[in-house]
Chain A
Amino acid sequence: MDLFEILFTASFWVAAIRIASPLIFATMGELICERAGVLNLGIEGIMVAGAFAGWVTVYAGGDLWTGVVVAALTGAAFGLVHATLTVPFGLSQHVVGIGITLLASSLTYFTYRIVLPEVSSPPRIEPFRNWAVPYLSDIPLIGPALFDQTPLTYLAFVTVAVVAWVLYRTPLGLAVRAAGENPSAVEAQGLSVTGIRMGAVMVGSALMAVGGTFLTMSAFNSFFFEMVNGRGWICIALVVFGSWRPGKALVGALLFAAFDAYQIRLQQVAGGIVPYQVFLMMPYLLSIAALVLVARRASYPKALMIPYQKGER
């Protein structure tokens, strides 16, 4: 198969959208947190916890959508811990974030061992099935990619639209954007910076967890260790790539996913000649290059990572 022929196969585009879905959820989550002024480095661990929480709910006999809700609540709970430490207590967002990542992933593995002490191969669940949109899914090439996916993928795209609407069209979004830029402007208008920031971190963390659970309930059908594999960190880069804007971040997630899907296929084409690790590296190298080009001009939220203390000069 030729290098360019890959781009004209439906399976490539289907894979790209599937790979993008968890990134989209988690990137929107991180974006909400950062827009309110809080860097959430707990993302990687929260995705692990979300992946497990959703999966184990279904494994224990729960409905698939119940699993998604449980995952979101788990994420929100970790978000609450993160927000309590970083917002009212004003602790370092870096340290707390890394701490949350370690805590959430360790707790997850611990719980996994407690719940399933004797399994060697991970048990499976019945994941979300594809839901093809009539007629639209018959469009060649992009039809299957956009209109023959699982409901969670559709939900990812809906999430982007909702986040963009809330941020730019509602009083709530206005308050979130102001809280990340100049919290004293929020306070001077009689709103609670603490409330807005904590709420944003909790909602953002819930979205990260849903991103995680996409992996166990839509992409795969079981939970195993290390399955999140750095996707959280990629999402942090995607937020920067997207200049803290939902639409641009979505483009970033799709680009990254497309590179990833492409390199998997390239391995099969050129794998004999070039070591496969080079292909694995490719999406990351390209993201760094894209970040350098795009992020230099990005205007970041001015109060990002700065704790707000009321009445301080």
Chain B
Amino acid sequence: MGNDMARRAQTVLRLAGITKRFGALIANDAIDLDLKRGEIVALLGENGAGKTTLMNILFGHYVADEGTIEALGKPLRPGDPHAALAAGIGMVHQHFTLADNLTVLENIALGTQSIWSPRLDRTSARTRISKLSAEFGLAIDPSRPVSELAVGERQRVEILKALYRDARILILDEPTAVLTPGETEALFATLKLLVAQGLSIIFISHKLKEVMAVADRVVVLRGGRLAGERRTAETTRQELAALMVGQEVSLPKAASRTPGPVILELRSVSTAGASGTQIRDVSLQLHGGVITGIAGVSGNGQAALAGLLSGVLSPRSGQLLIGGGAPPGWSPRTALDRGIARIPEDRHAVGSVADMSVTENVIAERYRNGDFSRYGMIDWAAARKFAERLIADYDVKCPSPETRIRLLSGGNMQKLILGRALDPDPVVILANQPTRGLDIGAVAYVHARLIEARDRGAAVLLISEDLDEVLSLSDRIHVIADGALSRSFARGEKSVGELGEMMAGHGLEAA
């Protein structure tokens, strides 16, 4: 028993004083972390807190500027994934590192046999994989091509890859982000089996509930620094949340104001876009100083509604009126000129150009007008100044305006898009899924800014699949189902249950 305790207390991994800078940005600032045998440690922090950077240093994808790493008592050579693997560290990346053209077996066996051996030993690989998958509840057919696998199955392959190499330390980066609730439970069961066998696990997450459910100990990162460390048995979700964001977060519950005049109106509009559910016979009034929320299950015409307002789609029938008149030649450009600000649903594909700089991205909607161009030439000095101002005003963490926008975390990218949309004081704001994939702090920030814009008199259309978000922000609520829109309800007029029924397509007309 005493012996067992001693073994359990053995430290298998020690990170000391890890510091990593990207230009002016300090991603990790003197971080210490210990991991003991048979323990699950959760690394908790918001997007951009430095969790992934720290693990990439551990695994040798990055080299730390300062600090040392010891695995099983021996120093780990920095910047060498091979050294990390040899030291028994296995990593399951957030974005899987699987080759789609290979089978499960081939992906697992890759790099495990000497590269000059004349023959890949499939038979023994298959035996070993079957044994491991039976032992840890990771059911998978080794001969299937990875391209055919569902996300949860791919993750199992990633875990098997590490186990196949006799990993003693397993790092999982946001492993549940892509899983269904059922798959998440299966994963947690596997993790418990693994630590029972003496493995140690670092579980990276920003989901408090999961951290409390699975971890023995929680290490919290905030802004690249160690914000605190707790045993899960001795802490609460509230305490962890406070550590994570640094201050108490409260969802804004701003009281409604007196509605202003109608700024944008749809009269019995139907669309005929190329793909997805179209809207039919939709009537909608957006008042100044009002947040109008659209609640609905994904794929019920939200994309068409957003496309219509942003100018990508034109009404096939019915009328779109801005300030009482129908704008001629409806296009994205007209929409912008008429003061409609857009926060697109997909910030990566539509909201930004990944490989262009922050500056180029923030002037993307306005480079033609006099602020940023003269005689057909872009005024880069003015553009840069504008980008710097947005970075400061919207609290964006990025090294410089020249940084390619793809290097920003999701929350920071969204803040920039928000800044780009809100800065010219738009009269209508189309916010489509504005907080999808963001952490608590960034969500609160986006909400506060939207309320601020409303208070300035803008008409805000909030489209969200998160019913809580719609309920907490909106002054008026519509439900969208199968392309049709319900009448508008005042805040609190319908219960969550009633709204849920309507979202499922029941009683839209009757309501």
Contact = CB atoms under 8 A, between A and B. Distances in A.
A174 interface: yes
A310 interface: yes
Interface string B94-126: 010111111000110111111111111000000
Interface stretch (B80-88, B417-425, B437-445): B80-88
A313 B406 CA distance: 8
Given A171-B115, A191-B115, A311-B56, A185 B98 contact: yes
A299 interface: yes
B156 interface: no
B491 interface: no
B101 A313 contact: no
A313 B98 contact: no
Contacts of B372: none
Contacts of B95: 184
Contacts of B61: 187, 310-311
A170 interface: yes
Contacts of B112: 171, 189
B407 interface: yes
Given A170-B120, A311-B61, A181 B100 contact: yes
A171 B99 contact: no
Interface in B25-73: 56, 61-62
A186 B111 contact: yes
A46 interface: no
A135 to B, nearest CB: 32
Interface in A101-126: none
A189 B119 CA distance: 18
A299 B101 contact: yes
Contacts of A186: 99, 110-111
A178 B116 contact: no
Contact of B111 (A170, A189, A299): A189
A296 to B, nearest CB: 18
A186 B120 CA distance: 16
A178 B110 contact: yes
A129 to B, nearest CB: 33
A219 B483 CA distance: 69
Interface residues of A, number: 25
Contacts of A170: 117-120
Contacts of A302: 100-101
A273 to B, nearest CB: 49
A178 B81 contact: no
A301 B93 CA distance: 22
Interface in A178-200: 178, 181-182, 184-191
Contact of B113 (A171, A177, A178): A171
Contacts of B115: 171-172, 175, 191
B109 A185 contact: no
B120 A181 contact: no
A297 interface: no
B325 to A, nearest CB: 46
A191 B114 CA distance: 10
Given A188-B91, A311-B56, A177 B114 contact: no
A313 B91 CA distance: 16
A66 B112 CA distance: 37
B111 A177 contact: no
Nearest to A300: B101
Nearest to A192: B82
A310 B80 CA distance: 11
Given A169-B120, A181-B102, A190-B85, A174 B109 contact: yes
A210 to B, nearest CB: 22
Contact of B81 (A177, A182, A190): A190
A8 B99 CA distance: 46
B102 to A, nearest CB: 6
Nearest to A35: B101
B384 interface: no
Nearest to A181: B99
Given A169-B120, A311-B61, A175 B110 contact: yes
A101 B129 CA distance: 46
Contacts of A188: 81, 91, 93, 97, 161
Which 5 A-B pairs rank lowest in CB-CB distance, beginning with the nearest?
A: A189-B111, A190-B82, A188-B97, A181-B99, A178-B99
16 contacts: A170-B120, A171-B109, A171-B114, A171-B120, A174-B106, A181-B99, A181-B100, A184-B95, A188-B81, A188-B97, A188-B161, A189-B85, A189-B112, A190-B85, A311-B61, A311-B62
Interface of B: 56, 61-62, 81-82, 84-86, 91, 93, 95, 97-102, 106-107, 109-120, 161, 406-407
Interface of A: 169-175, 177-178, 181-182, 184-191, 299, 301-302, 310-311, 313
Given A169-B120, A191-B110, 6 more contacts: A171-B120, A174-B110, A175-B115, A185-B107, A186-B110, A311-B61
